Amino acid sequence: MFWCAGSWGSVYPLTGNANASVDRMQSAELTAAKMIARLARMGLLWESVGPWAMCSPVPMPIWIKSQFTIDPVYPIASDGQGMAIGASPPIYMYKPPQSYPEYENINQVIFQEQQCCLHP
């Protein structure tokens, strides 16, 4: 369902508001998911996986969540494997260390899956 982001909350409205989140990291991930959905809705993201996008990307007005993964890198880095959108983040379920920067920015790397087409 394109209007939800799994356990993170609802994608709509497509604003930076993430009131349903329980902590800062989940709020940042929901905001990133909202940004991806909004860019797709505006026609700025293209579908790069599937039978229609075999050799070249095609417009994607409704986002496909399985194409994207989000990998948090700061202030708490993940193990290098991105999380699927809406997945329950097990790495944030522990109490952060004393040196955890409380009011710092949260940085994430967003990956989009690409399907390659080799011409003989």
37-49 pLDDT tens trace:
888 888 888 888 8
Q: Is residue 120 part of a domain?
A: no
In a domain, 1, yes or no: no
Closest CA to 49 of 69, 34, 29: 69
Residue 20 lies in a domain: yes
Tell me, what's the pLDDT at 91? 53
Q: In the structure, what pLDDT confidence band is assigned to residue 118 with cuts at 50, 70 and 90?
A: low
Q: What is the mean pLDDT of the chain?
A: 76
| Residue 119 domain-assigned (yes or no) | no
* Domain coverage including residue 104: 6-112
Nearest to 110 by CA among 64, 72, 53: 72
The total domain count for the chain is: 1
- Please, which residues bridge with residue 47 across strands? 58
- Domain membership of residue 24 (yes or no) is yes
Tokens coding 2:
């394109």
**What is the Cα–Cα distance from 4 to 107, expressed in whole angstroms?**
22
pLDDT of residue 78 exceeding 80, the answer is no
Judge contact between 6 and 66, C-beta under 8 A.
Answer: no
Pair 88, 7: CB distance under 8 Å: yes
Which pLDDT belongs to residue 66?
83
Per the domain annotation, does 12 fall within a domain? yes
Domain assignment present for residue 96? The answer is: yes
Task: Flag whether pLDDT at 90 surpasses 70.
Answer: no
Residue 86, pLDDT score: 80
39 phi, psi to nearest 5 deg: -65, -40
Grade residue 60 by pLDDT with cuts at 50, 70 and 90.
Answer: confident
